[in-house]
Amino acid sequence: MITTAHLTAEVHLVLCRARRTRLGLWTLALLAATTALAIHAGVADAGRTASRLGLLAGLMGAGFCAASDADRAALDLARAHPVTALALASGRWAALALLGATVASLHVAVLGFTGALGPGAAAAGLAAGVGAAGAAAGAGLCAAWLGGNALVGGLFAYVVLASGVPPDVWVIIVRPGVLRTAGAVVLEFLPGLWRYRELAAGDLGAWCHAGAWAGGGVAVAAWLLAGRRR
Amino acid sequence: MGGRRRGGGGVAPGGTAPVTAPLEARDVVRRFGRGRWRVVAVAGVSLTLAPGEIVGVVGANGAGKTTLLRVLAGLLDPHHGTVRIAGHPPATPAAHRVLGFAPDAPAFPPGLTVAEVLRTLAAFHAGRAGVRAAAERAIRLAGLDEVAGHLAATLSAGWRRRLALGQAMLGARRVLLLDETLAGLDPVARRAVCEQLAALAADGAAVLLSSHDLAAVERLAARVLVLRAGTVVREARTSELLGERVLEVTLDRRPAITPAGFRRTARGLELDVGEETVEAALARCRALGVPVRGSRVRLRTLEDVVVEALGDPALPR
């Protein structure tokens, strides 16, 4: 399975991307904008903002560190070394989740330093950010190895534009039909802001959903990688 | 095609324990596509590599060399047949601990330097403490010192192939599958890589080298496989293939029909002399009415063998 050396190498890869590509710039911009808005608006619900940051940073990481043609082609070289597809997927997931979790943690830390959060709210926000980052890393990795940047970009746009709408609100605002049903299914199934903002409150359904995306995403990504031999 | 002459599943000298061949493939078949688009890239290839042996795989473009190597490396599943790397199935970590593969068109993770690429891949072979040392050893063996700090994605084709060779030599690899590793290298680098491969083989590593660089294969390989349409059409020890003498004759004018036993060349004809004396061979030319202006004897090259094997209409296409 995954070793410390492998995990260190994957984290190093993500750090290199953050330093040498726009990943670092975009992640910092996302962190700065979300944190500034939260402070300006006096937001006390860090679970909401931290889960959003965890989700978006995890997906951006997947886009920049796993989805390009070159990244996917480079997996062939890794597969010629003593490592299983599951270990490769687990290592990349862990590095992406760590990126998202770090961004969310920094956000919570800054809010805590400004006095906007109490210790309990900070801990809840931190947990929400880490949970959302894990789910985003699983979903993003899966999308990256299945459809590359196009699919990750689509998932990112969905999270930003639509995933804040809960399915029960969706079925009220959309007329009955295929669109309403499909939309509700998508909102229930994919990682979304409406669900993961509940992570901070310890909602079991939200944690199960995030866990399923983290574990399922790694499993599907490993299956996709192993399927390249066929 | 069996190649069982050396090392293939025999008995250890002076003992009874069976010796596992570093690489053993039996009747490997690999297809691509379906229906009318179906292509049989490898059609029943068997081969065995012995420790310390360098085997050359040559053939025309599309002959199935790259597919064969990818199947042997465990990156593609065969549709039929078996592959064993030191007794292990090829797509397993146990096999990849001893098998290194340098692909024809290597892709490296973007944004990483040469040293970082090697350190990333070395993490699969060594613990955290040994990663740096393993990467530095690979840099030294592949002669990558001067580009160690360069971004891998920006390297020239020749350096990329040397980096591919470097990562194939990470860890304790005893079998190397090299796909066109010598292509695009400058003469100095080519010689250095050839010497490195010879040294690795002398140290007991088995090397399967796919290449269009027939001069290098001739120099390095103890055995050569000629592939055509996914099938091994010729396999022999290099010394057996190259021992024959060839008489090249320059002609006043080209004959309308190439006489039996002769091959056309740019300036005339040539024929294998074998055990015959040169005088007897020239007398045969005169008897056939071939207008000889000049002649010279040379040793048969691997290029002669390959061109002959690939051009033979009786062999599968």
Q: If you average pLDDT over every residue of chain A, what do you get?
A: 93
Mark yes or no for CB contact B124/A12 under 8 Å: no
Hey, what amino acid is at B41?
A: A
Q: Are A46 and A92 in contact (CB under 8 A)?
A: no
Q: Which residue of B has its CA nearest to A73?
A: B107
Is residue A168 less than 8 Å (CB to CB) from chain B? no
H/E stretch holding B226: strand B223-228
Per-residue model confidence (pLDDT) at position B264: 81
Angular region, B14: left φ>0, alpha ψ -120 to 50, beta rest: left
Residue A207 structural domain: 4-227
Which residues of B are less than 8 Å from A78 in CB distance? Answer: 121, 124
In this predicted model, what pLDDT tens digit does every residue of A100-151 receive, in sequence order? Answer: 999 999 999 999 888 778 888 899 999 999 999 999 999 999 999 999 999 9
Is residue B100 less than 8 Å (CB to CB) from chain A? yes
Average pLDDT (B86-104) is 94
Between residues 175 and 204 of chain A, which touch chain B (CB distance below 8 Å)? none
In this predicted model, what pLDDT tens digit does every residue of B253-303 receive, in sequence order? Answer: 777 778 888 888 877 888 888 778 888 888 888 888 888 888 888 888 888
Query: What is the least distance, in Å, from the CA of B316 to any CA of chain A?
Result: 26
Which residues of B are less than 8 Å from A71 in CB distance? Answer: 109-110
Q: At what angle do helices A204-226 and A85-113 cross, to 10 degrees?
A: 140
Render B166-215 in DSSP notation, one character per residue. HHHTSSS--EEEEESTTTT--HHHHHHHHHHHHHHHHTT-EEEEE-S-HH
Between residues 71 and 100 of chain A, which touch chain B (CB distance below 8 Å)? 71, 73-74, 76-84
Hey, what amino acid is at B21?
A: A
Per-residue model confidence (pLDDT) at position B246: 86
DSSP, res A28 = H
Which tokens sit at B48?
């065995």
Which residues of B are less than 8 Å from A76 in CB distance? Answer: 75, 103, 107
d(CA B90, CA B73): 6
Domain count, chain A: 1
Query: What is the least distance, in Å, from the CA of A46 to any CA of chain B?
Result: 34
| List of E strands, A33-174 | none
Distance of CA B268 to CAs B36, B244, B249, Å? 43, 19, 6
The helix/strand/coil state of B61 is coil
Between residues 152 and 191 of chain B, which touch chain A (CB distance below 8 Å)? 153, 164, 167-168, 170-171
CB pairs under 8 A between A and B: 98
In terms of pTM, does the model score above 0.90? no
d(CA B249, CA B280): 13
Average pLDDT (A14-24) is 92
